[in-house]
């Protein structure tokens, strides 16, 4: 498959959508990002890389980090984790409070904010130096030691993070947070602030596409079955209340973030990442979804 040419053609084909949507503005630092950017990168399990456009520009991965924190939590807790967070699609926005109240502090899944705030609490319990340890894990996955947090983005979000603070308080009220709320939120925002390029992300997601190889990065180990199940949760919950639409249009497990990034995997073949800051009403990248829809349509490669 000539992925390089396919990505080039996709880039051309999606230009008419370049002005659709707007970047996340509830996080002031993200509102300042130049929205006129588009990058994409495929990394195959044979080790070939196909970059296109702004594939080497770092951006805020935001909720894509939730896949990394889920991987780490599962390696520490195994199925115990599911006592504190479910694995059903929410059908609600990523930052919704309503369901959490009705369901008494058990988040629907690890990929909505409530679920990931519980994951942050779990990681704080297990990691000796949480900030350093999490970063080392992500760097090992991506094979790039220059990957880092952007503390400015994290504090910009924390300063206006009223909704996430409300979620954390509700979780704490229901005894689903053990640590101090301030500490948990600080770590949660920091994990969201990690900056990576499309090529970093494609490489970091490759182990999720590659069941045959053991998953073991900086001491975080998962069985092939656990990796497969993380993919299942990406498929059903990776795009909040647009998970069904993404499945319908693209047909790959994936995860989005409000920085405009999306990472997805084609099991046993490749991982792909795409980035463009303008988001639709559900908080997912407009051009990102369009590009992935074209990729799986043109190549006729999807899990279905
Ligand atoms: N940091 C963002 C938040 O908590 C992450 C949300 C997202 O990427 N969907 O609101």
Query: pLDDT for 91-132, tens place per residue?
Result: 888 888 999 999 999 999 999 999 999 999 999 999 999 999
For 273-285, the pLDDT digits (tens) are: 999 999 999 999 9
Residue 1: per-residue pLDDT: 87
Residue 31: per-residue pLDDT: 93
Over 90: is that where the pLDDT of 62 sits?
A: yes
Is 113's C-beta closer than 6 angstroms to any atom of ligand 1? yes
* CA 160 – ligand 1 centroid, Å: 12
Q: Which three-class secondary structure state does DSSP give residue 78?
A: helix
Is 193's C-beta closer than 6 angstroms to any atom of ligand 1? no
Residue 4: per-residue pLDDT: 98
23 close to 35: Cβ distance less than 8 angstroms: yes
Over 90: is that where the pLDDT of 67 sits?
A: yes
Element (H, E) at 76: helix 65-77
- Indicate which atom in ligand 1 lies nearest the CA of residue 63: 8
Annotated active-site residue 258? The verdict is yes
Is 23's C-beta closer than 6 angstroms to any atom of ligand 1? no
Angle at 234 between CA 187 and CA 218, to 5 degrees: 50
- Indicate which atom in ligand 1 lies nearest the CA of residue 283: 9
Annotated active-site residue 3? The verdict is no
Catalytic residue among 60, 67, 75, 240: 240
Q: Percent of the chain beyond pLDDT 90?
A: 96
**How do the residues of the chain divide into helix, strand and coil, expressed in percent and rounded to 5?**
50, 15, 35
Over residues 133-141, mean pLDDT? 98
42 close to 199: Cβ distance less than 8 angstroms: no
Band (187; pLDDT cuts 50, 70, 90): very high
Residue that has been written with the tokens 């559900």 in this structure: 282
Is 54's C-beta closer than 6 angstroms to any atom of ligand 1? no
* CA 222 – ligand 1 centroid, Å: 25
Residue 217: per-residue pLDDT: 97
Residue 7: per-residue pLDDT: 98
Over 90: is that where the pLDDT of 142 sits?
A: yes
| CA distances, 57 to each of 60, 139, 196, 233, 241 (Å) | 10, 16, 8, 28, 28
**What is d(CA 154, CA 42) in angstroms, rounded to the nearest whole number?**
28
Is 258's C-beta closer than 6 angstroms to any atom of ligand 1? yes
Catalytic residue among 3, 65, 66, 255: 66
Over 90: is that where the pLDDT of 211 sits?
A: no
* CA 156 – ligand 1 centroid, Å: 12
**Nearest CA residue ID for atom 2, ligand 1:** 62
Annotated active-site residue 66? The verdict is yes
Over residues 22-40, mean pLDDT? 94
Of 157, 163, 85, 96, the residue nearest 118 (C-alpha): 85
User: pTM value?
Assistant: 0.97
């Amino acid at each position: 498959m000539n992925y390089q040419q396919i990505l080039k053609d996709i880039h051309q084909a999606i230009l008419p959508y370049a002005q659709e949507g707007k970047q996340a503005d509830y996080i002031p630092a993200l509102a300042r990002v130049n929205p006129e950017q588009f990058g994409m990168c495929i990394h195959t399990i044979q080790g070939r890389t196909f970059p296109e456009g702004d594939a080497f520009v770092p951006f805020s991965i935001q909720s894509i980090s939730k896949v990394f924190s889920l991987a780490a939590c599962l390696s520490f807790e195994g199925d115990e984790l599911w006592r504190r967070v479910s694995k059903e699609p929410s059908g609600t926005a990523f930052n919704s409070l309503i369901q959490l109240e009705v369901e008494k502090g058990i988040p629907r899944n690890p990929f909505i904010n409530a679920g990931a705030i519980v994951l942050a609490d779990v990681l704080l319990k297990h990691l000796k130096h949480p900030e350093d340890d999490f970063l080392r894990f992500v760097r090992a996955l991506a094979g790039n030691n220059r990957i880092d947090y952007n503390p400015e983005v994290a504090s910009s979000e924390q300063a206006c993070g009223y909704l996430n603070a409300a979620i954390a308080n509700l979780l704490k009220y229901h005894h689903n947070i053990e640590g101090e709320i301030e500490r948990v939120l600080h770590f949660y925002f920091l994990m969201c602030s990690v900056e990576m390029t499309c090529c970093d992300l494609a490489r970091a997601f490759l182990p999720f596409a590659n069941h045959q190889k053991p998953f073991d990065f900086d001491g975080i180990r998962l069985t092939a079955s656990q990796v497969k199940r993380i993919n299942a949760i990406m498929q059903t919950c990776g795009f909040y209340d647009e998970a069904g639409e993404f499945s319908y249009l693209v047909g790959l497990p994936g995860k989005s973030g409000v920085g405009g990034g999306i990472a997805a995997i084609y099991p046993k073949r490749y991982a792909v990442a795409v980035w463009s800051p303008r988001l639709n009403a559900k908080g997912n990248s407009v051009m990102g979804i369009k590009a992935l829809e074209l990729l799986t349509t043109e190549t006729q490669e999807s899990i279905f």
